[in-house]
Structure 1
Amino acid sequence: MLFNSIEYLFFLPIAFILYWFVFHKRLNFQNTLLLVLSYIFYGWWDWRFLSLIIFSSIIDYTCGLQIEKSPSKKTKKRLLIVSMIVNLGFLGVFKYFNFFSESLSNAFNSVGYQFGPLTLEVILPVGISFYTFQTMSYTIDVYKGKLKPTKNIISFFAFVSFFPQLVAGPIERATNLLPQFYTKRRFDYKNAVNGLRQILWGLFKKIVVADNCAIVVNQVFDNHLDYSASTLAVGAIFFAFQIYGDFSGYSDIAIGTSRLFGFNLMQNFAFPYFSRDIAEFWRRWHISLSTWFRDYLYIPLGGSKGGLWLKIRNTFIIFIVSGFWHGANWTFIFWGTLNAIYFLPLLLLKRNRIHTNNIAENKLFISFTEIYQVLITFTITTIAWVFFRAESIEQGFSYVISLFSKSMLTMPSVDIKPFLFIFILLIFEWLFRDKKHGLELSNLKIASIRWGIYTLIFMIILFFGAQSQSFIYFQF
């Protein structure tokens, strides 16, 4: 079920009414309702995929309990390995098997040994990368002693399948989200209203910004050899805002929806296109995934505590694995490698932590130095996004090389109307960059102005929303 679909328009208010007015008397009733709603929400695409998430939940619930009971560290480790094999095994079969098979076949073919790849005719389950990482964090934290395993099977299953963030995150940690299923939840009007604001802002980013940009992006990338450099530049810029509006819009809707039900999810985006270097960008982009890899991969590998070569190795591992997480294609691996190369000079010069505050903090206007830093960061990020969007590395290089020609001085030959929507997006996010989202107007005292802004955003969505496009990150 899509957040921007008619079905969800009916699903959400029905779920809200049942949750607060029918099942509100007992916590276990509410959790059971959330579990049922989540399975309906997920099963709307294909009910057969429910078996995967249920089986994964059973394995991790059982492993968590057995890890705590076991007196032997060796047995605890074996149980953790069982959990990892099951979760990563599902991910490997459904998402990566064909990629590895085809890559192996191509490698042998290149040296004269001809054979066809063995491929599986399977559909990638929606959101498998997200809920797999979420449930893995539970077992790992129980193993490390950071979290007591839950004996409440309804709460655990609801945690794994919680519908607002099930399909595309944020990837929540059990230490943050799971305890919220144990606590009696009371309706908080202010929190719910802020949730509605965030949902509205997320819909604007998705339906107006991302979907309008997508029309141009698809046109340009599918026929990039036929366009001037200026048009290719517009296509690349629009994709940068398409993927941001699409993914952060989903996160805003997910977080806002969670607030309607009394839950607080982690912030997943913190205005990343205002970043002054690539390190700051990655602290602000897809925060739930970046911090997951930091805590469960980068730090266990030694992080930045070792020597120079160890730091470099760990940096490349974390970015390449992050790229591979996004998809079974060499373009994603190259995208991750390119970001590691961008990051390397900051690491070597020990400048990767110099921008930890908000840009132009406590100021309205940005300095010329910061403008330069933001533009450089956005430019190199956009070039990397070209490879993320391209069908192959060859197409990515062809696209980037074509950007550097005299035709950059010509007028673009595509609709540039999305620039207006991008401008509106940037204005709101700049003014509220110290908040959790771009429409957090709670400090604006004049109610008529607040409601005027809400009405304006709603009307823009209504009249300028493009034809519905599926969320990009559903394929991951």
Structure 2
Amino acid sequence: MLFSSGIFLFLYLPFFLLIYYLLPKYWHNAFLFAASLVFYAWGEGPVVLVLLVSALINYVAGRLIEQGKRKAGLWLSLAGSLSLLVYYKYANFLVDTARGFSEIAGLPVSNSLTLPYIALPIGISFYTFQGISYTLDIYWGRIRANKSFLDYGTYVAMFPHQIAGPIVRYADIAPELAERSTGLEKFAVGAERFIIGLAKKVLLANTFASLADGIFNAPADSYQTATAWLGIIAYSLQIYFDFSGYSDMAIGLGKMVGFDFKENFNYPYIARSIQDFWRRWHISLSSWFRDYVYIPLGGNRGSKTRTYRNLLIVFFVTGLWHGASWNFIIWGLYHGLFLLLERAGLSKRLEKIWPFFAHAYALLVVLIGWVFFRIESLPEAIQYLQKMAGFTASTTSVIRYSPMHFLSAEVIVSLLIGIVLATPVYAKFRRGWDRVLARLASMRLVLDSVYVAGLFGLFILSVMYLAADTYNPFIYFRF
């Protein structure tokens, strides 16, 4: 079930909120836990058991660690959680890779290396990392283990963040699991954030997805270099508004039921370096790898060689986390390589040059990287990069697809809006609006009414787009 689906917006969410607010606070966690399992099982069915098994493993592991059986608990968490992740997400990839190497080596065993397709449980990467961070924080003495499986299960299964993050750490919401405040003001802030996220997903990301898919699915010899650039720009905007829009909806839903999730995006496309990009992109994932992989490996406390090794390990795992494919691994190592270059001295040069060129450098690196992220086949990704560089000529007498073939008036307007909103323009507008409200206190009710009417109009427009078009992809479903 997608947040941006009619069944969620007009059936699941209204009934959930109605029952949630009618129940006494004592029953809130139990109902949220049960409702989250229903949400997850709606499209996944029995695979919801994987989530429950993962939650049980880490709950027991946390209790063991606190009872003094530290290593037993830690190993139970790591082995149990990662075994589930490896089986469901990477088993087919590992078997296919082994078969490929066997075929290259001419080994007869390659024919017997087969494995039936294993369906990927939605959100497994997110709740696996949440479980591991929970037990590691207990192991390091940062938090106490939760004695209630119901409360811990609510944290793991909570539907606002369970499908696609942000990766919420137990330490950040432990007080709210025990007691949280809900009120009209907080609910209104959550609803505002949800509507903005929905609009980003439906009005922008879906439009960019249609444009990007049209270009990427066209034969490589049938469009111009400019069209290839248009395709990767469209995809870059798609993945940003798709994922940040979903994060906005998750944060908004969290506030509606009393939770304050941390921000997950901070305008990554205004970054002036790749290091800066990763401070702004998928912040919950970046900080998780920093705190639970990079620092335990030694971080930058050793020699430069050790620091570079640690960075490459982190970005190898980052790529692998995003998907069971060599292209994702290449994408991760590609970003890691530029981080090494920046640590080796490039970052100091970037600080001295005109900011425009630093922005251009970071954007160019990110755009090229998205090609590996978008295209599953490595040869096809290289072919697309060659097209972007203008190295391959069309084999047909007439190039069929120029950029204008894909650009309607609606798409052009959406691209312009998307490019503007990928910068902090809206944040500045909100600050300006708040200053206006502070100065015109006597007109506050009128101005607030205008703003609420605008949000309502945005919601209606998003729903109209959903009703008129069944094309509603979500990139992070496969992660």
1:471 to 468, 471, 474: 474
User: 2: distance between equivalents of 1:458 and 1:18?
Assistant: 23
Flag the 1:7–1:352 CA change in 2: closer, same or farther, 3 A: farther
**Does the 8 A contact of 1:228 with 1:412 survive in 2?**
no
1:245 to 237, 241, 264: 241
User: Where is the helix percentage greater, Structure 1 or Structure 2?
Assistant: 2
1:179 correspondence with 2:175? yes
Task: Specify the alignment match of 1:188 in structure 2.
Answer: 183
Task: Specify the alignment match of 1:385 in structure 2.
Answer: 370
The equivalences for 1:113-262 within 5 A come to 113-114=107-108, 115-116=110-111, 117-183=113-179, 185-225=180-220, 226-262=222-258
**Does the 8 A contact of 1:164 with 1:258 survive in 2?**
yes
Paired residue secondary structure (1:253) = helix
**Does the 8 A contact of 1:271 with 1:433 survive in 2?**
no
How far did residue 294 of structure 1 move?
Answer: 0.5
Task: Specify the alignment match of 1:264 in structure 2.
Answer: 260
1:398 correspondence with 2:399? no
Question: More displaced, 444-453 or 200-209?
Answer: 444-453
Aligned positions, number: 455
**Does the 8 A contact of 2:315 with 2:335 survive in 1?**
yes
| AA partner of residue 46 (structure 1) | E
Task: Specify the alignment match of 2:104 in structure 1.
Answer: 110
How far did residue 132 of structure 1 move?
Answer: 0.8
How far did residue 369 of structure 1 move?
Answer: 3.3
1:430 to 413, 423, 434: 423
Cα RMSD (Å): 2.5
Task: Specify the alignment match of 2:441 in structure 1.
Answer: none
Paired residue secondary structure (1:207) = helix
1:415 to 396, 402, 407: 407
User: 1: distance between equivalents of 2:405 and 2:177?
Assistant: 53
Task: Specify the alignment match of 1:363 in structure 2.
Answer: none
Q: TM-score, normalised by structure 1?
A: 0.89
How far did residue 464 of structure 1 move?
Answer: 5.1
How far did residue 165 of structure 1 move?
Answer: 0.4
How far did residue 402 of structure 1 move?
Answer: 0.8
Cα deviations by residue, 1:159-215 (Å, 9 ceiling, x for unpaired): 0101100010011111012331101x3323222222111111111111111111111
Question: More displaced, 140-149 or 118-127?
Answer: 118-127
| AA partner of residue 367 (structure 2) | T
How far did residue 456 of structure 1 move?
Answer: 5.2
| AA partner of residue 417 (structure 2) | I
User: 1: distance between equivalents of 2:284 and 2:430?
Assistant: 19
Question: More displaced, 426-435 or 383-392?
Answer: 426-435
Flag the 1:398–1:444 CA change in 2: closer, same or farther, 3 A: farther
Task: Specify the alignment match of 2:462 in structure 1.
Answer: 461
How far did residue 453 of structure 1 move?
Answer: 3.9
How far did residue 448 of structure 1 move?
Answer: 5.2
User: 2: distance between equivalents of 1:431 and 1:150?
Assistant: 39
1:53 to 51, 54, 63: 51
How far did residue 46 of structure 1 move?
Answer: 2.1
Q: Which runs of 5+ in 2 are unaligned?
A: 394-398, 438-446
Q: Which runs of 5+ in 1 are unaligned?
A: 356-367
Question: More displaced, 80-89 or 188-197?
Answer: 188-197
| AA partner of residue 381 (structure 1) | V
User: 2: distance between equivalents of 1:392 and 1:301?
Assistant: 32
Flag the 1:81–1:26 CA change in 2: closer, same or farther, 3 A: same
User: 2: distance between equivalents of 1:323 and 1:102?
Assistant: 18
Paired residue secondary structure (1:430) = coil
Flag the 1:120–1:81 CA change in 2: closer, same or farther, 3 A: farther
User: 1: distance between equivalents of 2:322 and 2:171?
Assistant: 24
Task: Specify the alignment match of 2:25 in structure 1.
Answer: 26
Paired residue secondary structure (1:349) = helix
Cα deviations by residue, 1:32-62 (Å, 9 ceiling, x for unpaired): 0100110010000122011111111111111
Question: More displaced, 236-245 or 397-406?
Answer: 397-406
How far did residue 251 of structure 1 move?
Answer: 0.5
Question: More displaced, 58-67 or 116-125?
Answer: 116-125
User: 2: distance between equivalents of 1:383 and 1:5?
Assistant: 32
How far did residue 90 of structure 1 move?
Answer: 0.6
Paired residue secondary structure (2:262) = coil
User: 2: distance between equivalents of 1:136 and 1:424?
Assistant: 39
**Does the 8 A contact of 1:94 with 1:125 survive in 2?**
yes
| AA partner of residue 36 (structure 1) | A
Structure 1 runs of 4+ aligned residues shifted over 6 Å read 352-355, 406-410, 437-440
Task: Specify the alignment match of 1:13 in structure 2.
Answer: 14
Cα deviations by residue, 1:406-431 (Å, 9 ceiling, x for unpaired): 98996543125434223224434535
User: 2: distance between equivalents of 1:230 and 1:158?
Assistant: 49
| AA partner of residue 7 (structure 2) | E
Flag the 1:332–1:440 CA change in 2: closer, same or farther, 3 A: farther
**Does the 8 A contact of 1:279 with 1:352 survive in 2?**
no
User: 2: distance between equivalents of 1:103 and 1:143?
Assistant: 35
1:289 correspondence with 2:285? yes
How far did residue 350 of structure 1 move?
Answer: 7.4
